[in-house]
Amino acid sequence: MLKKGLVLGSIFTLAFGALVGCSTGQKADGNKDEAKLTGEVKIDGSSTVFPVTQAVAEEFMKANPGVKVTLAESGTGGGFKKWAAGDIDINDASRPIKDEEKALAAEKKIEPVEISVAYDGIALVVNKDNNFVDSLTVDELKKIWEPNSKVKTWKDVRPNFPAEPIKLYGPGTASGTFDYFTDEIVGEEGKSRTDYTQSEDDNVLVKGVQNDKSSLGYFGFAYYLENQDKLKIVKVDAGKGAIEPTEETINNGTYAPLSRPIFIYPSKQSLEKPEVKAFVKFYLENAKDLVKEIGYVPLPDADYQKSLELVK
């Protein structure tokens, strides 16, 4: 599901010509009002949320062939810039909206509607052939990633590690995952060493770690699940023992401090468009099954129902 064979440049249009049954159990003919929907839903933002929104978009367009959903991934921050300018209807976000982003949107009288769609854990990974790293403490991670870090080799992290150069891979500065990771690990949002391979495309990070024996990287948990035969997960010790990210540990928060909710942000103005409103409702009605299929952790049913009240 995470493979992006349909991508053309950084943006692709998901289009389907025939009505077929939805894997979520939703009837392809939907209700008659939705079947008559036309228009376009424009979405950008987080590469972490991208796989869920992509799956929803595919199923939505099977049920509503008159609606075109365009989906891109310029990172949470990059998406909020477009959303605040009124260029897109929905921003995928791996962190809550910032006050300055709200202020920018307010200048154009754009009001956010915050909708949480799943829980995610940020996965720390090393190369599959790495035989010495099983877990890292939060303090060790801070030592690696903080600005002006003096860590150049694995031995600099822990004395019994080999003196091999450490090659780092992580999200770019427009990423909500970058914001969250730096806040929780380094201690200040946006503060990080800069001498690492950056990308807003998590698949680029996956390939980097996969092909570099001395690597360490971080990105959304679903991208690890999709590539777990090529990568090795690293447990995180926040002071209560080393914990591996799983559906259970992400859901109950024991995978700390790297468990978090992920969001979509339509605007109140965009929700006035029938096609956007129908898409968001469809998202929430089918999120539980699709989120699980992608590899993230669904929210409680009551949370999806509460969000549905916001768009009725």
Nearest one of 181, 106, 172, 169 to 142, comparing CA atoms: 181
Provide the CATH number for the domain around residue 279. 3.40.190.10
Do 275 and 199 fall into the same domain?
no
Mean of pLDDT over the chain: 90
CA–CA separation, 311 vs 299, rounded Å? Answer: 18
Three-class secondary structure assignment of 168-200: EEECCCCCHHHHHHHHHHHCCCCCCCCCCEECC
Residue 5 has pLDDT above 70, yes or no: no
Angle formed at CA 93 by CA 146 and CA 249, multiple of 5 degrees: 70
Report how many domains make up the chain: 2
* Assigned domain for 134 exists: yes
- Rg of the chain over Cα atoms, rounded to whole angstroms, equals 20
CA–CA separation, 230 vs 132, rounded Å? Answer: 17
CA–CA separation, 79 vs 236, rounded Å? Answer: 30
| Residue where a domain terminates, one of 220, 237, 259 | 259
Amino acid making up residue 53: T
What average pLDDT score do residues 145-172 get?
Answer: 97
What average pLDDT score do residues 255-277 get?
Answer: 97
Position 96 confidence tier, pLDDT thresholds 50, 70, 90: very high
Return the biggest CA–CA distance within the chain: 66
Predicted pLDDT at 93: 97
Do 188 and 137 fall into the same domain?
yes
Predicted pLDDT at 36: 86
Which uninterrupted H or E stretch holds 67? strand 67-72
Residue 163 has pLDDT above 80, yes or no: yes
Do 246 and 143 fall into the same domain?
yes
Length of the chain: 312
The token pair at 254 is 């024991």
What average pLDDT score do residues 229-235 get?
Answer: 97
Do 232 and 164 fall into the same domain?
yes
CA–CA separation, 201 vs 70, rounded Å? Answer: 17
* Sole residue written with tokens 């590899």: 295
Q: Is residue 19 a contact partner of residue 65, using CB atoms and an 8 Å limit?
A: yes
Nearest one of 152, 190, 151, 154 to 172, comparing CA atoms: 190
The token pair at 49 is 């949320």
CA atoms within 13 A on the CB side of 53: 30
Predicted pLDDT at 29: 43
* Assigned domain for 15 exists: no
Q: Is residue 236 a contact partner of residue 138, using CB atoms and an 8 Å limit?
A: yes
Predicted pLDDT at 26: 44
Residue 7 has pLDDT above 60, yes or no: no
Residue 167 has pLDDT above 60, yes or no: yes
Do 198 and 238 fall into the same domain?
yes
Do 184 and 124 fall into the same domain?
yes
The token pair at 126 is 């090393």
Predicted pLDDT at 35: 53
For residue range 15-60, list pLDDT tens digits in order: 333 333 333 444 334 444 445 899 999 999 999 999 999 999 999 9
Residue 246 has pLDDT above 90, yes or no: yes
